[in-house]
């Protein structure tokens, strides 16, 4: 079976390369020619564990090619749409890249006799596939969905930093099909890909499949905001510690232990965008999205809890030197989209602090954004040197391994604000003045 992926972002590229690795003939079509050129040389444009190795393997076996031209995808049996759906100013999503991809796929298919399948992997609001996608494809191909063209929805649930592992071992496969044949073809494709280890596969209609993607992400985002709100309450409750509370809560099988890490809030390319998009979609339907708005509100405020704690420990922040450890939106990636570190840095600058930042992977991306507004360190130790206080904004393992005595040794005053709960309060409190998200005063 020949496959085409339209859009080589981290979802498109990872899925394409994993499929090619397992023996499918895959073409990736991408408008950005610099990206195509890099990928063709075996360089992954996103930092994703294992991806580059698989990419090089697939290229060397001639199982994968990247191109800027749809003509190279003309022989594909299945076209996966994996283009981005960025936020518009009102929170809704911009579907122009999806529409553009449909037009080009349609034009490509117009020249073909065979019945191809188009699968929408991009995150689109419920109803998009049976309206906009269907219409654009039919217009450009002069074919009819359900007759000489198959169409379905196939959302992805990959996490950045674990995208390859998530592709090989997903919890489930969701396929939405309103017409009957596309879903069967995708099911067969995944059986070939996963063999005996095929994950549970759910077939539903296109609207439900689109909604499952949003509902999954808003559920996860809501868990984070909820535990962060509990953390904020714990923080003002003598003796309380959200880490212990989350452990006890997570032991309830109805709740489970995942996504209960309190901190400075969620970032990244999905949760912030998807919560906003579903809220905008709800409003369009006349549904007041009370929960979704609260989830966002908690998350918008959460980074500033670090500044609050700094103020409590240091007093007036003006003229102080702040060290920020961690810039990426989560560990093991260089992605800084919606990273809480950026909000924290901007607030520190507003307060008149000088800021030194360090991140194992994302420094260059922040430098491009903030330039010389802040200083950049080459290591965590260099970052905390002579600082008045230090904020841990991302939970890189490297920061966990920092010995408490280093804060005492290097900082002007050893004041540590642990925004991601990386340190053991008892151990670090012996060497530094320590405050953490969700840790109440006088914890005994």
Residues 6+ apart with CB under 8 A from 53: none
Site pattern 212..251 for ligand UDX (x: CB under 6 A): -----x--x---x---------------------------
Shortest gap between Cβ of 221 and ligand UDX (angstroms)? Answer: 7
**In contact, 67 and 36? CB cutoff 8 Å:** yes
The minimum distance between CB 264 and ligand UDX, in angstroms, equals 8
Minimum distance between the CB of residue 226 and ligand UDX, rounded to whole angstroms? 11
Residues in the chain: 444
Q: Is 337 or 408 the residue whose CB approaches ligand UDX more closely? A: 337
The answer to the question of residue 267 lying near ligand UDX (CB under 6 A) is yes
- Side-chain half-sphere of 422: how many Cα atoms within 13 Å? 24
Q: List the strands of the sheet with 389-392, edge to edge.
A: 375-376, 354-358, 321-325, 389-392, 415-418, 433-436
Nearer to ligand UDX, 149 or 218 (CB): 218
Q: Closer CB to ligand UDX, residue 65 or residue 235?
A: 235
Q: Phi, psi at residue 94, to the nearest 5°?
A: -90, 115
Q: Of 120, 211, 270, 402, which lies in the binding site for ligand UDX, with binding defined by CB under 6 A? A: 270
Q: Which of 271, 281, 376, 434 binds ligand UDX (CB under 6 A)?
A: 271
Least distance from ligand UDX to the Cβ atom of residue 230, Å: 12
Nearest distance in Å: CB 328, ligand UDX: 9
Whether the Cβ atoms of residue 36 and residue 66 lie closer than 8 Å to each other: yes
Cβ neighbours for 27, distance < 8 A, ≥ 6 positions apart: 2, 3, 4, 5, 64, 65, 66, 67, 72, 73, 76
Of the candidates 107, 259, 349, 351, which one interacts with ligand UDX according to CB under 6 A? Answer: 259
- Per-residue binding string, ligand UDX, 141-180, x by CB under 6 A, is ---------------xxxxx--------------------
CA-closest candidate to residue 165, choices 21, 302, 263: 21
Residue spans of alpha helices (H) in 269-416: 271-284, 290-301, 304-314, 340-350, 363-370, 380-384, 397-400, 404-410
- Provide φ and ψ at 308, rounded to 5°: -55, -45
Sign of CA dihedral 122, 123, 125, 130: positive
The residues in 78-117 that bind ligand UDX, with binding defined as CB under 6 A, are none
Output the CA–CA distances (angstroms, integers) from residue 366 to 137, 342, 374, in the order listed. 39, 8, 10
Residue 237: strand, helix, or coil:
coil
- For ligand UDX, how many residues bind (rule: CB under 6 A)? 19
CB nearer to ligand UDX: pick between 70 and 157: 157
Nearer to ligand UDX, 268 or 360 (CB): 268
Indicate if 270 belongs to the active site.
yes
Q: Looking only at residues 323 through 352 of this chain, which bind ligand UDX when binding is defined by CB under 6 A?
A: 329-330
- Nearer of residues 126 and 267 to ligand UDX, judged by Cβ: 267
Strand partners, 375: 356
Contacts of 311 (CB under 8 A, 6+ apart): 317
Catalytic residue among 270, 353, 383, 390: 270
Figure out which of the listed residues 263, 303, 438, 440 binds ligand UDX, where binding follows CB under 6 A.
263
Shortest spacing between CB 11 and ligand UDX, in angstroms: 8
| List of residues contacting ligand UDX (CB under 6 A) | 156-160, 217, 220, 224, 259-261, 263, 266-268, 270-271, 329-330
Residues annotated as catalytic are: 270
């Amino acid at each position: 079976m020949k496959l085409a992926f339209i859009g080589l972002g981290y979802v498109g590229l990872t899925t394409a390369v994993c499929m090619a690795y397992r023996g499918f003939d895959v073409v990736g079509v991408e408008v950005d020619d610099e990206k195509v050129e890099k990928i063709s040389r075996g360089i992954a444009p996103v930092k994703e564990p294992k991806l580059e190795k698989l990419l090089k393997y697939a290229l060397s076996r001639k199982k994968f090619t990247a191109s800027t031209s749809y003509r190279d995808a003309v022989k594909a049996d299945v076209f996966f749409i994996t283009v981005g759906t960025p936020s518009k100013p009102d929170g809704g999503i911009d579907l122009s890249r999806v529409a553009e991809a449909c037009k080009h796929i349609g034009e490509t298919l117009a020249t073909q006799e065979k019945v191809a399948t188009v699968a929408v992997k991009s995150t689109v609001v419920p109803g998009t596939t049976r309206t906009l996608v269907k219409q654009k494809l039919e217009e450009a191909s002069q074919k009819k969905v359900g007759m000489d063209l198959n169409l379905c929805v196939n959302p992805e649930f990959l996490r950045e930093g674990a995208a390859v592992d998530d592709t090989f071992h997903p919890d489930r496969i969701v396929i939405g099909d309103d017409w009957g044949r596309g879903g069967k073809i995708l099911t067969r494709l995944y059986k070939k890909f996963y063999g005996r280890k095929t994950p549970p596969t759910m077939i539903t209609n296109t609207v439900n499949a689109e909604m499952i993607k949003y509902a999954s992400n808003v559920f996860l985002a809501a868990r984070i905001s909820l535990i962060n709100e509990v953390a904020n309450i714990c923080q003002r409750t003598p003796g309380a510690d959200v880490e212990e509370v989350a452990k006890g809560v997570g032991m309830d099988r109805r709740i489970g232990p995942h996504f209960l890490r309190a901190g400075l809030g969620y970032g990244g390319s999905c949760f912030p965008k998807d919560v906003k998009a579903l809220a905008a979609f709800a409003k369009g339907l006349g549904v007041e999205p009370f929960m979704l708005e609260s989830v966002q509100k908690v998350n918008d405020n959460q980074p500033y809890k670090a500044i609050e704690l700094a103020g409590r420990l240091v007093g007036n922040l003006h003229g102080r030197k702040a060290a920020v450890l961690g810039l990426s939106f989560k560990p093991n990636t260089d992605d800084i989209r919606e990273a809480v570190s950026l909000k924290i840095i901007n607030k520190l600058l507003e307060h008149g602090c000088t800021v030194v930042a360090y991140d194992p992977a994302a420094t260059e991306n922040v430098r491009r954004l903030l330039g010389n507004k802040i200083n950049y360190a080459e290591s965590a130790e260099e970052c905390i040197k002579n600082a008045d206080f230090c904020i841990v904004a991302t939970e890189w393992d490297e920061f966990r391994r920092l010995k408490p005595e280093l804060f005492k040794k290097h900082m002007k005053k050893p004041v540590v604000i642990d925004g991601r709960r990386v340190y053991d309060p008892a151990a670090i409190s012996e060497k530094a003045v320590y405050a953490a998200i969700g840790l109440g005063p006088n914890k005994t």
